[in-house]
Amino acid sequence: MLFIYRLVRFLPASKNIQIVVGTVIDEIRNGGAFFGVLFSFYYAYSILGMELFRGTIDNLYIRHSQRNKSDCGTYEQLEYWPNNFNDFFSSIVTLYNIMIVNQWFVFVNGFRSATNSRWSELYFIFWYLFVTTLGLNICLALSGDIHDAKKKRANEHEELIVSNMFDIYRYVLN
pLDDT at 77 over 80: no
Determine the average pLDDT of the residues in 86-109: 89
How is the chain split into domains, by residue range?
Answer: 36-173
The DSSP symbol for 160 reads -
Task: Say which residue, 16 or 86, is predicted with more confidence.
Answer: 86
So what's the pLDDT on residue 161? 47
Give the C-alpha separation, 87 to 84, whole Å. 8
Average pLDDT across the chain, whole number:
79
Q: Which of 99, 108, 93, 92 is closest to 46 using CA atoms?
A: 92
pLDDT tens per residue, range 33-74: 888 888 999 999 999 999 999 988 876 656 665 554 556 667
Amino acid letter at 97? N
Let me know: does 142 contact 34? Beta carbons within 8 Å. yes
